[in-house]
Amino acid sequence: MDLDRLASALDGLEGTLLRNEPMAKHTTFCAGGPADLLFLPASEEAAAISLRTAREEDIPCMVMGAGSNLAVPSAGIRGLVIAMADGFSRVEQRGTVITAQAGAKLTRLARRAAEASLTGLEFASGIPGSAGGGTAMNAGAYEGQLSDVFERARVLIDGRIEDITLSEMDYGYRHSMPLEKGAVVLTASFRLRPGDREAIEDTMRDMNRRRREKQPLEYPSAGSVFKRPSGNYAGALIEQAGLKGLSIGGARVSEKHAGFIINTGNASGDDIIALIELVRQKVYEHSGVLLEREVRIPGVDAL
């Protein structure tokens, strides 16, 4: 694995290249070991070239968004991480359509929509993810999800940039074509509806008040760790198994919302991953339900 040759190739692209970069700086868990190389592209072309070059050099490559759905092992990530972040986060509004580059935060999109008196993205006002990752994951909250307002996206798939429509996204619960086929969302467009700005902002304030009351937002976390099992809720199953407050190192099952694993201040990536697996095991022993992770683990999941 010739990382020096890859680094030399990436140095000339639009963006920022970092070596041995702690992933704790780039995930909402605030934990995880270093990436050999972390590239933050500033253009579609830079993203496409960096991914293609890594594959040509046979170097492992992972693409991430805001890091709100990642638990990174303490050993870190070998190869290249491409992070769609602040340098690739332009947001534009034309009529009732808002288009965002992959690194734009969903909270920013919701705010932009409210300022334009457009309704449909209120549910996203408290989701910590980005437009790219959120579009691929079909992020949602409070009975809303991005597939409800999605119009089209530009994605990088098999080395080509293609425009994808709603029907081609093959959306489901936390599922999409990009996730299934390893495509990278570069930009996404959402069609909203005209609304009353005051009513939109009232709805956003109410949703965020409920989040503060029910979720441990004062601690680093990745939000809901597990997908919702059919006919039940992960948090309820975890609580029924008596797991609130269960800890490994600095990682703990939140007493406020059992569906959250929090970093109490000094959790390692391995602490978090071990606690996730322990919770799955104990819930299965108690209820017979095997929880499916929503949080993704580099080196374990295809990313």
Closest to 266 measured CA to CA, from 200, 219, 202, 302: 219
Q: Which of 174, 252, 280, 293 is catalytic?
A: 174
What torsion, rounded to 10 degrees, do the Cα atoms 141, 130, 136, 148 define?
A: 40
Q: Residue 279 is encoded by which pair of tokens?
A: 């919770």
Q: Is the dihedral of CA 108, 114, 115, 117 positive or negative?
A: positive
The residue assigned the tokens 């425009």 is 163
Q: Which of 68, 130, 224, 254 is catalytic?
A: 224
The residue assigned the tokens 């995880």 is 32
- Spacing of C-alpha 238 from chain mean position: 22
Q: Is 185 exposed, middle or buried (0-12, 13-18, 19+ CB in 10 A)?
A: buried
| Residue 33 backbone phi and psi in degrees, to 5 | -75, -175
Q: For residue 274, how many other CB atoms are within 10 A of its CB? A: 14
- Spacing of C-alpha 106 from chain mean position: 10
Annotation says 174 is catalytic: yes
Helix (H) or strand (E) holding 13: none
Catalytic residues: 174, 224, 294
